[in-house]
Amino acid sequence: MGIAPPTPEANARTVANDRARMRYALLGSIALLAGMWIAWLAFWLLGWSPGELGIRPRDPAGLVGILTAPFAHADFAHLMSNTLPMGVLATLTLYSYPRAARIALPLIWLLSGLGVWLFARSAVHVGASGIAHGLMFFLFVMGLIRRDRLAIVVSLVVFFLYGGMLASILPQEERVSFEYHFAGAVAGVLAALLLHARDPLPPRKRYSWEEEAEEPAAEDELELPHASEVPVLWQHGESAPATGQVIAFRPRAAAEDHAAPDRDSAPPTG
């Protein structure tokens, strides 16, 4: 199934693609949760022990638990405590990184179980909390590496909701498999480092002021003229344009000769 990457502009096509991505993510997470619940109901109805599907470290017969342990839970409370985190984290992973999730989810599944089989204490380890920790660390580290808007938002959301998983990778309670949590966290970080470029980055939305800022400005607006090109008011060359008109005044003596006669010397009138 081809999943189109998110685009910055909301139109009919992008809305349809987004709905397809969300449908794909919901169906995938529902299928995963359905497997967990069906396995628990089967064990409860048939009276089987969940330890039969668990991981027994360094026991060759316990290698099958790497595949089956996430479907086995100690009791109903254990199943409920893993249902909501698995549903939320699996949905976010499949929606945000559909191409990387196809490899990341199986990789986290196998590496977390293998780490428990190799290094965990001698006990039976069951539950999907290792995968949940792997998905949480995967989404968080992807936001730190990719730094696009979707990755950052998802990283902040998972840290706000499940940031307590950072402390649960350390030993706290005797019956809690912190080894499974720690192995899942390491697998999630490795998956993010290996697969962060598998999904294309969504195109960044461009705003009008960014396009105007990139237009080349006129050269005369950015560079000042040379000092030799600046005109000086008191030094006009022959080529200086005429900006006014010069009025010639006659000498004073000539002006007196052409003066009008006095009132007393005027001829009498009858």
Region 233-252: what's the mean pLDDT? 60
Q: Is the pLDDT of residue 145 over 80?
A: yes
For tokens 């999904």, the residue is 199
What average pLDDT does the structure give for the chain?
Answer: 83
How many alpha carbons fall within 13 Å on the CB side of residue 148? Answer: 20
pLDDT interval class at 265 (50, 70, 90): very low
- 6-15 tens-digit pLDDT: 555 567 777 8
Region 30-44: what's the mean pLDDT? 92
* Global pTM exceeds 0.95: no
First to last CA, the chain: 125
Q: Which of 92-106, 124-138, 157-171, 201-215 has the lowest mean pLDDT?
A: 201-215
Q: Provide the pLDDT for residue 235.
A: 60
